Structure 1
């Protein structure tokens, strides 16, 4: 059978087009596999963080405010951040928790210690110990750092699952100005509701004395509030930030430039 030259050329052209399509498909497939095995599998495995966008601060119905060294400046957290001093860390070899007073005192003198004040503020469906209007026995809450719902039950082991986090860790505060505060001012810093959030125990342990440059909540939806709260606490107690810490805070606030400072009043 005789095949014309024009038919032969058409067949060659269709063959080249087919091979071209196959080549594009192969490159796309290789690119997809490369993305999956480098970053995609982690993005697919990690669900988008969700949860509270802020945490409670103050309930005037039964809490009394703790007076800070300075009022929290009104306005944006970015403006307040720019007003904070930027310095390096001071030494911490002389740090002790006792420098901030006995843990969980009744600083606001409302008849209940600070830990139970914060549990009552942050939890819902609160149940008190029998015969008490202060000691929280149980409750539930939408935990802010992980964005998960948590049941709290008082007990020697179960209580550890929910801890009260110092938003500005006391060890961090000690290295960034708290050594220059009076004993009474440090006690206020450690018990100020502005600086306290009920949180997942393991997350709080992981944070330790970290600042925004070394630790941020896994729940991304609360990071703007969290960083604004740290800035507000540092402004209220005359503490400074490091350059790395300020850069980290600015990166977070870049997604929420209108985020306001946070006040306990």
Structure 2
């Protein structure tokens, strides 16, 4: 069969167009993968100057709000930071975890304890223990502090590998105003989804009671959200920051001055 030169050129042109489309699709896919592995679920929670977007904090379908001492200030995190008092640390020698109530209570009265609430919120492909609508047996998630995928399997090993981090550590909160809160308010602080993120267990251990001046996530793409979340928690519960902590927060927010505060509403 004889093929004309014009037909041949049309076929070549269509072939080049097809390869061009495939190349663009491949680049887009790689870009999406890069975004997911470096920012993941928290990238969608980073608001811009146009206003706040919903952070991965609260799902009204099955969670009930925990009422803080004060509403989270609206507006930028930098503006909210300027409204937080700057003081030195109070004594830590009288700190006791029990001052914040028994760990992982059902503070929001939705029938599930806080740890399982946060696992359900932060994990994907969640599987519950047979016969339970609360107790998470397995799932996977994009760990925010390291920026990598992790699997969770219920059990002692899984509980060590995946922990629920207090964004503002309770010991830090104790030294910066929480001693003046009531027992009920401290219990809410310890169980408020705004202050809780599923995270790598060893990294959570390394963080300890560190504030922004001594510890920040290795995954830099989460730092703006992380610092904004700390500011939001401290503003909501009337806690203060140290001078060094405020300086560290301002340095982080310097790269994202339009970062808004984070709210559970």
**Correspondence for 1:140:** 140
1:199 alignment partner, SS class: strand
2:38 alignment partner, SS class: coil
* Within-5 A mapping of 1:1-265: 50-52=38-40, 53=43, 54=45, 56-265=56-265
Rounded to whole Å, the distance in 2 between the matches of 1:207 and 1:159 is 17
With the length of structure 2 as denominator, give the TM-score of the two structures. Answer: 0.81
Describe the superposition over 1:155-200 as per-residue Cα deviations: whole angstroms up to 9, x where unpaired: 1222210000000000000000000000000000000000000000
1:197 alignment partner, SS class: strand
| CA contact 1:51–1:148 (8 Å) conserved in 2 | no
Describe the superposition over 1:81-136 as per-residue Cα deviations: whole angstroms up to 9, x where unpaired: 00000000000100000000000000000000000000000000000001100000
1:73 alignment partner, SS class: coil
Gaps of 5+ in 2: 1-36, 46-54
Query: Which structure has the greater CA radius of gyration?
Result: 1
With the length of structure 1 as denominator, give the TM-score of the two structures. Answer: 0.81
| CA contact 1:51–1:146 (8 Å) conserved in 2 | no
Following superposition, the deviation at residue 56 of structure 1 comes to 1.9
Rounded to whole Å, the distance in 1 between the matches of 2:160 and 2:60 is 27
1:251 alignment partner, SS class: helix
Rounded to whole Å, the distance in 2 between the matches of 1:188 and 1:50 is 31
Rounded to whole Å, the distance in 1 between the matches of 2:67 and 2:192 is 8
Gaps of 5+ in 1: 1-48
Aligned residues: 218
| CA contact 1:142–1:150 (8 Å) conserved in 2 | yes
